[in-house]
Structure 1
């Protein structure tokens, strides 16, 4: 079996952590049990480009239980948990191509190593796998029947491809499922981003000015958690509706050029490019702390910061101090990459339980339906979304009401008024 990981000797440690994560993933565990008996993915070759974490390992085990031949590479150079990669190789015999801290050349070599296995279905987080497949490895496109995409950034890229008519197979936008973005993005990103920032810096948030760039679901969660830690939260936005919501939620809202002058902590969660730029770094306080929890580090204009910088050094793991010409220090966390995965462990497993349940059921749906689908980006079927919500509630011991026959009739009727 071909693979490329840091150290196979880390496998036992990884196995224990995967088991720990599995304890908080009841929905995915139920799906795995059904997959083991029904084998809905039997004979399928599935290439996954995801963050190599304990929760992802649980998903890989579930897909393999369903009969798939699974191949895994990292979707971010800093997000790999090396012990998890080792455990998947040794204990689950799943080929993994991922090493924490790999350079860009190795990152894309690993994506190509995965593609060498000629996947029939892809599972992506950020669309690097899909874009590489369409550009550098287009000779394999005819092998691919469908795929899924995990995150906002990837969906933006895929919808652009579809609009230009270059997307060559159907893909389900897992991120758009209510049980994914309402919970994973808000509660998962909110908690894990704060976790990553605190692990990297060991700084107190209470009483500081914490700038959240972007008030989508990730931004909402991050702003809520930062306020819960006692920070004075400032939101920057380009969408007037989102900005209005932030105001109504009690946060300060202002342009980034104003926030840059007063912020102590900054975190981008927009999915866009150069959100914090050279002119913003140029007016920041001495000691400002900069991080990103959007998918790619392009949210920060790191080249612009480099132009202002006379020297750099790592003062702590994941904290790069940039000393400007006038002596001010700007600290960038985790190379500007996803701080919740670079310096911490990503989302809690109970949240990823729903996200990866969506992935597993969406791939099952795609295997059954890809022949009838156009080359486009599709939402997760509502039936799957509702099924996952019901099973999560059941696992939490929560019951809800059912509509009475009278209520169903009322909702379906236009003749019954006041």
Structure 2
């Protein structure tokens, strides 16, 4: 009897291994199919394996659903029977039923608790490795801590590797399913779907829609958490600027600071990469348009131009919309500053209004400095250091109207070029120190 049980377990394990290999092979082949790289043999292999894997997945899903419903019903029944037992003696049938169901529910509960305990231990050990590595980076590890780190590090690394592989495999399977849905929907749009493909599309489409919804929900949750951390960091920094923080606030600020800095760096890097890609697309679009103006394009270039054209047009539209939105927001902020300053002139502001006014003033002042700096870069200076237009130049050393040589110098700013024609004039003033312009053709 024991030998038969052993053979049954071995046969079951072999069957599961074969099924797992078939599932992995289907995932790999569907990934190749999504890239259009399948050979004829691989296409035939995929057509043979796909229904088997689909059937096995369906059976497994049904079995898992049955097991879940059975164990849930057993747990609910155990609760009812235990409640009846608390009120008084049970009937023989109920006692026998309770004795039969209780071990099943307890095994399930123990398995669940074991899994939860394992996850908690992994989390604790991972956090401990982070702390010990931080101490090691500061050179503050004791011998015991060094031994603990040496013991924990390989375990945590192994768990992380296992989790990474699981996540990668899961993402690949989901991507293959999404690519397959796209292929089947394209075939459906052309009216070329077979009955099997219709069934496959009907099975895959709700899964892919659910996964996309989960990704969106997770992304929204992640962005909210990041925004909350950034807002809390700004509040703590503002409090620190007003006076000493409490110990809890200092610890919270110290914890948030590297996270916020890292996220800002990630955002900047992502923004730089995105702008480069958009600029490359716009440059390529300009090149292709120029080539099209000179003569007929090749098929590849026409296809590339047709693909880039709506993207570039959309980005230009987005840039215009963002510019309009930005100007409206800046105008609203400036108007809000005027309102708050008027209220401040009438009497003391509330704390929230004072904080809002201080933040808005910094923004408005910063934009004013940027605008002035742009004027300096474009014209040399935002305005001449002397007044009176061209008349202000008269009487200064080296000035002579009309075109010709200019000899002029000043302490902080001086004329480097001038051109006078009738009543119109152009000047460019360069602000420097330690240099003197002796002569320059007009």
Q: Same fold (TM over 0.5)?
A: no
Q: TM-score range by the shorter chain?
A: under 0.3
TM-score calculated relative to the size of structure 2: 0.18
* Bigger CA radius of gyration: 2
Q: Which has the higher contact order (CA 8 A, sep 6+)?
A: 1
Q: Which of the pair is proportionally richer in helix?
A: 2
TM-score calculated relative to the size of structure 1: 0.18
